[in-house]
Amino acid sequence: MTAQVPHILVVGGGYVGMYTAYGLRKAARRGKIRVTVVDPRSVMTYQPFLPEAAAGSVEPRHVVVPLRKTLKGCRVVTGRVTSIDHAHKVAKVMPEEGPDYELAYDQIVVALGSIARTLPIPGLAEEATGFKNVEEAIALRNKVLDRLDVAASQPDPVLRKAALTFVFVGGGYAGVEAFAELEDMARYATRYYDNIQPEEMRWVLVEATNRILPEVGPELGKYTVEQLRKRNMDVKLETRLESCEKGRVVLSDGEEFDADTIVWTAGVKANPALARTDFPLDEKGRIKCRADLRIEGLDDAWSAGDNAAVPDLTSDTGAFTAPNAQHAVRQARRLAANILRVVDGKEPQNYEHKYVGSVASLGLHKGVAQLYGVKVKGWPAWFLHRTYHVSRVPTFNRKARVILDWTLALFFRREVTSLGSLQMPNEEFRRATKS
């Protein structure tokens, strides 16, 4: 690459990748730099809105940001980076179709993010679903509503009970919010079934530690458990999923039961593709970074977000910044600004941000929040949750569409239609070919 026009390769199109490229796009359009973003998906998913998308409060298309439309001036490659040889400044790209090829660069931003942290539990891969992208959110919504249809049409009490049993494993944000939002939706949907009462459904949250939502503190975590249990939802603390083969759930407390719906949200881990690079990694598989977001020991490689160990300058304990959207978005903005500073021959600046707090939705008009040490519950917390996250959704277009979804929901009832055929779109055609 010519020194006059540095080529910046951004590996990953999630929070860090998208926001970094977004911060570089104007310089790219002026011809000052060239920016290439590589990701297997052509959209960035705003994950905090996935529970609301699953519950039907937000249109699923409105929680994803199309990369090509948003990153004008940048080249977007739909493919997967399988390895990085920074010593030679080359990344290997596996496109959706066709042979792999090498992509050279001058500077690189590694933003591969995280993947679900799973355990070798019998039946987990076959029976459970994750909750990290919009496809999983849509599929889970369809599954819950489809199980209501099955239960309403099933005379066998054993099969009916399994259809109305929903198990979520993991008491962090993703698990608790999806658990609460979908129960809220399903409870509402039962009014359209003359033979299903809300009390017949069983919603089980399984958490291995002694509390949920640790980010909001022990007091609000305890409050959340109490509120969920008041809704007849079963919250099992200090309990592990031992097995779920063929839908038979076995828990560490000795309980066994059948469940048609099992959702795994028990944490994340750094993308294992980082092991196929020559960057320094810590014991958790994350890239070691300096406070200015450059990779340790390098001046032309950067990282941030879930796949990076970034020193938290606001901590006196030597901690790293938490793997959440709040830090990822801010780190990406600092990262983009630092790259432009380096291109201009200036020194990059350190990333420093004191954690503001956390917000969580527990269903329509219900939530918990802790901001600047102030604890908020109920409707005010739910409103803060929506206000904060709509302010973080990238682009005015997406903000407006999400707000419009919420506004329309004030005047119209929830949509409780299952589009189950999306999971097997050719099923009717296959049946026709056999008839």
- Cβ-based neighbours of 285, under 8 Å, separated by 6 or more: 269, 270, 272, 274, 275
Distance CA 299, CA 135 (A): 38
pLDDT score at 1: 42
pTM summary value: 0.87
For residue 422, pLDDT over 70 is answered with: no
Q: Please choose, from the candidates 9, 12, 6, 85, the residue with its C-alpha nearest in 3D space to the C-alpha of residue 307.
A: 12
Residue with structure tokens 């199109």? 13
For residue 2, pLDDT over 50 is answered with: no
**Per-residue pLDDT tens for 44-70?**
998 888 998 898 888 888 889 999 999
**Per-residue pLDDT tens for 263-310?**
999 888 889 999 999 999 999 999 999 999 999 999 999 999 999 999
Average pLDDT, the chain: 90
**Per-residue pLDDT tens for 345-392?**
999 999 998 877 788 889 888 999 888 778 999 999 989 888 888 888
Residue with structure tokens 């958790």? 284
